[in-house]
């Protein structure tokens, strides 16, 4: 499994990035208020499946490059560090505004790193099939190019090619799944209270700045480590 020192860096970084309002979290909150938390769990199942696939593909792909093309990996290491720092800077610069659709509506939201803009809303029925909710969560996770870039940049530094990759990946995936589950469940159950918290004052801005600071630090550590 990864070293304790690496986990001490990974866990808080991923937690603050995960809890920051984004496409999946806003979708969980909107569905939680419109169709109920219990049915929102099906969307969460699809989202977690998609995130797991992205994470596994990112680690295995970069690990293959690390083993077979170490020179290319050196380039990717600096590029990944720069990308994480870029994300962190954007999170710091974000205005911290959040547009949330009406609880009776659900929309496909287009997200930059921190600002959510609702697109054409579609009325949600509480009788939405489970398969539709699962596919909605899965597609939201798997079809997000920023999610792929984030996983490719963040995960590899916490994997050592000198140790068995499978146990390390299992530990990191467990942390990712647990963190994502807790975050989405908090958004789905938080309802109006959480929406008021996120839209009040500079709360989102401070969440973004905490996550952004951690991302910048990890990006520098990746480039120099």
Of the listed ranges 18-32, 103-117, 174-188, the one predicted with least confidence: 103-117
Of the listed ranges 73-82, 109-118, 134-143, the one predicted with least confidence: 109-118
Question: Confidence band (pLDDT; 50, 70, 90) for 225?
Answer: low
Using DSSP, state whether 128 is helix, strand or coil. coil
Structure-token pair, residue 149: 């870039």
Note whether 153 and 83 are within 8 A (CB): yes
Note whether 101 and 199 are within 8 A (CB): no
Give the pTM: 0.71
DSSP assignment, residue 10? Answer: H
Of the listed ranges 7-21, 33-47, 120-134, the one predicted with least confidence: 120-134
pLDDT of residue 158: 81
DSSP assignment, residue 113? Answer: S
Total domains, the chain:
1
Mean pLDDT across 137-147: 83
CB within 8 Å of 90: residues ≥ 6 apart: 112, 113, 114, 212
Range of the domain at 48: 4-224
Report which of 18, 40, 13, 1 is spatially closest to residue 147, judged by C-alpha positions. Answer: 18
Structure-token pair, residue 173: 């995936």
Residue 41 has pLDDT above 90, yes or no: yes
How many Å apart are CA 212 and CA 214, to the nearest integer? 5
Note whether 204 and 21 are within 8 A (CB): yes
113-121, long-range: CB within 8 Å, 24+ apart, which pairs?
Answer: 113/22, 113/87, 113/146, 113/208, 114/20, 114/21, 114/22, 114/90, 114/204, 114/208, 116/21, 116/22, 116/23, 116/26
**pLDDT tens digit string along 52-107?**
999 888 888 877 877 787 777 777 778 877 887 887 888 787 765 544 444 344 44
Residue 51 has pLDDT above 60, yes or no: yes
- Do the strands 105-106 and 122-123 form a parallel or antiparallel pair, or are they unpaired? antiparallel
Structure-token pair, residue 20: 């920051």
CB within 8 Å of 4: residues ≥ 6 apart: none
Residue 43 has pLDDT above 50, yes or no: yes
pLDDT of residue 116: 38
Cα 141 from chain centroid (whole Å)? 9
How many Å apart are CA 173 and CA 190, to the nearest integer? 25
pLDDT of residue 48: 94
**In percent, how much of the chain has pLDDT > 90?**
14
């Amino acid at each position: 499994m990864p070293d304790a020192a690496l986990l001490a860096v990974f866990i808080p970084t991923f937690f603050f990035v995960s809890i920051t309002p984004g496409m999946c979290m806003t979708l969980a909150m909107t569905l939680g208020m419109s169709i109920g938390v219990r049915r929102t769990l099906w969307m969460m199942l699809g989202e977690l499946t998609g995130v797991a696939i992205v994470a596994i593909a990112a680690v295995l792909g970069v690990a293959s490059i690390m083993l077979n093309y170490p020179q290319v990996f050196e380039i990717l290491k600096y590029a990944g560090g720069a990308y994480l720092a870029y994300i962190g800077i954007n999170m710091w610069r974000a205005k911290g505004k959040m547009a949330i659709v009406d609880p009776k509506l659900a929309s496909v939201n287009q997200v930059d790193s921190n600002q959510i803009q609702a697109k054409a809303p579609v009325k949600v029925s509480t009788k939405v099939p489970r398969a539709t909710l699962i596919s909605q969560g899965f597609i939201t996770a798997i079809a997000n190019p920023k999610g792929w870039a984030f996983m490719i940049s963040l995960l590899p530094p916490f994997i050592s090619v000198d140790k068995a990759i499978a146990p390390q990946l299992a530990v990191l995936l467990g942390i990712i799944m647990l963190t994502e589950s807790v975050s989405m469940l908090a958004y789905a159950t938080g309802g109006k209270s959480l929406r008021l918290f996120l839209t009040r004052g500079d709360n989102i801005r401070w969440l973004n700045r905490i996550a952004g600071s951690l991302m910048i630090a990890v990006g520098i550590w990746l480039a120099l480590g």
